[in-house]
Structure 1
Amino acid sequence: MKTAPEKTHLEKLKSKILSYTKVPDAVLEEEMRYYECLELRKGDMLVAPGQFVHHFYYVAAGCIYYYKLEDGEQKVMEFYTEDVFFTDLPAYVKGTPSNYFLKATEKSLVYAVKKSDAENSFKKSHELERFGRLSMQEAFMKIFTRVERLSSRTNEERYLRLMEKRPDLFQRVPQYLIASYLGITPVGLSKLRKRLGKGQ
């Protein structure tokens, strides 16, 4: 029997799927059987370079960050927080080893569905196939728009946008990771926050 918190998280997962397309109740209940609940501690790794990526994930609670190492430094691509689907899309889609990390920045609860199970469900249901396509498109666009922002906006513009759209990250994520995500140094971020009156 599922505990109350787990049932609550499952309901959120169902609602997220239904936000993409209508799915018959019986089909949706069958789909839930394929999702495995993973409890992660701070620092736990979902994916590391060299691994094959066989799962698509949903964040029920917590924060996962997506990054790579360049010359020994972490280059943060994205932060995935509550009510978001994610994976390492290049490795997942192409079936090649990952070049990235997916790691929990805090205690997190994630649901994982195997690629083979997901694809089988897509074959059985047009509604689930549509959900799969749209959720993967959304995951891709998160990375694409982040890269676009790095090339087309100033440091200040990127910082202010993050403050507006995702202010919670500044309390949940170390500042050096936020600096990496914004494409600036930790010192640069500190100076920017002080100049804009947000250094406290």
Structure 2
Amino acid sequence: MSDWLADTRDSYDTVAVSYADLTRGLLDGLPHLRAALRLFAEEVSGPVVDVGCGPGDITALLHGFGVDVSGIDLSPAMIALARESHPGLRFEVGSMTEPIGGELGGILAWWSLIHVPDELVPVVFGHFREALRPGGLLQLGFHVGDRTNRKTEGYGGHPMRVDVHLRPPDRVAGWLRDAGFTVEARWLFGENGEDGAVLFARRG
């Protein structure tokens, strides 16, 4: 396992409980993001994997919308919390840097690509394309910007060692097109669209 991947896993193992406490119910006050998830649920057909699912709350929300969904996360501690909080759903330890199976109808990757270095994003998108059936739907959520921040503390003050990559939507869309996706829509959030973006893309 590469150093950045090990650091990401260990960091989220450390903050898992605090992260779950701080983010629980977060979408209750974010109607635009809930709408993005609902639209994804309405448009997707077939099994879905929530990649970087964390404590599983978004996975459970999709399930509540009627989606056949399971979750994977790099952090074993996050997966343990997800299984405890949502015992009726399927969660496994896994990484988007490795193949994630096949014949999926959809993939959700919300604010999990943010720790992947630029040079590996095309590799990840290649795995996503291989996992999706033709016409399969991909929804990405990420921080908007053009810089990398080093995160050494977070979620309750616990130590972390992760890079957080903020990226322009045009760059992410270009990587998607190069990987064989058609970008169907872009949603920008926050003042001047600088807080975050959600991209809807479909496998060709």
TM-score range (shorter-chain normalised) is under 0.3
Higher strand share: 2
Which has the larger Rg?
1
- Which one scores higher on RCO, CA 8 angstroms, separation ≥ 6? 1
TM-score norm. by structure 1 comes to 0.26
TM-score norm. by structure 2 comes to 0.26
